Amino acid sequence: MYKVYFYIVLILFLASCNVTRVVKPLEKGEQRVSANFGGAGIKYSGAPIPLTLTSINYQKGLDTNVTFTGSFHTTSAMFGVLQTDLGLGIQAYESTAEKFGVTISPMLNILYDIHENNLRLYPQLDATCWWQYGEKPHLFYGSVGTWVELQKAKAHLQIQDNELLPFVTVGHQFIGEKWDVQLELKYIGFQHDNRNVVVDFIGPSHYGSAGLFVGVGRRLSK
């Protein structure tokens, strides 16, 4: 079972199995912890169901415009795959009225299969546009990004021809005094035919996979 799961995790359609980590950078010294769950849609026995992959995340504002983020993927760990993502959320632009901004997030995804002693690294780069549309600090956002496959060959020494896993997202972050809730739709790997993998992914015209993701976070005192 763990071999099947590790293969599924490494399939590019499931690589980006979380909500957008940093929508808008935290204030300097501010901290946030969150739990996230969701996943790509698949068909199981003919019925559409969402995969439920879970992770926990920690963030800290290193500066007003830079936030550190680090996550541990709990579902992966249950199957013997240690998976984490580390990165930064950098505010590249913010309007004078502080109602619109762009966050750039360079990240590194690390996966280690305990059973097979197999380590994989996947760089990632996201760009997120956020919009605070009302008096309250709720955020509507959209992102584009990609994972990067560093392996030069696929299984059976085949040439690696899928170096990039692009994705697009649209989401909303409801922000309260201490708690926030994040809802996000993500379309992953839209240039990849999803009919030649071990899982029956749900995607438009058999390309990529669409997924629903949820995050619940709490901000901590500085």
Residue carrying structure tokens 């795959």: 81
Q: Give all domains of the chain, ordered by start, each with its CATH number.
A: 2-19+31-220 (2.40.230)
Q: What is the mean pLDDT of residues 25-54?
A: 82
Q: Are 81 and 15 in contact (CB under 8 A)?
A: no
Q: Are 219 and 178 in contact (CB under 8 A)?
A: yes
Q: What is the mean pLDDT of residues 74-101?
A: 92
Q: Where are the alpha helices (DSSP H) in the chain?
A: 2-10, 74-78
Report CA-CA distances (Å) from 152 to 56, 146, 148, 157, 161. Answer: 31, 17, 11, 9, 8
Beta strands 47-50; 31-44: pairing state: antiparallel
Which percentage of the chain shows pLDDT scores above 70? 73
- Where are the strands (E) in 45-99, listed by range? 47-50, 53-63, 66-72, 81-94
Structure tokens belonging to residue 170: 């649209």
| Three-class SS state of 14 | helix
Q: What is the mean pLDDT of residues 7-34?
A: 77
pLDDT at res. 204: 63
Indicate the pLDDT class of residue 1, thresholds 50, 70 and 90. Answer: very low
Distance CA(77)–CA(65), nearest Å, equals 32
Q: Are 84 and 76 in contact (CB under 8 A)?
A: no
Q: What is the mean pLDDT of residues 57-69?
A: 96
Rg value, the chain, Cα = 17
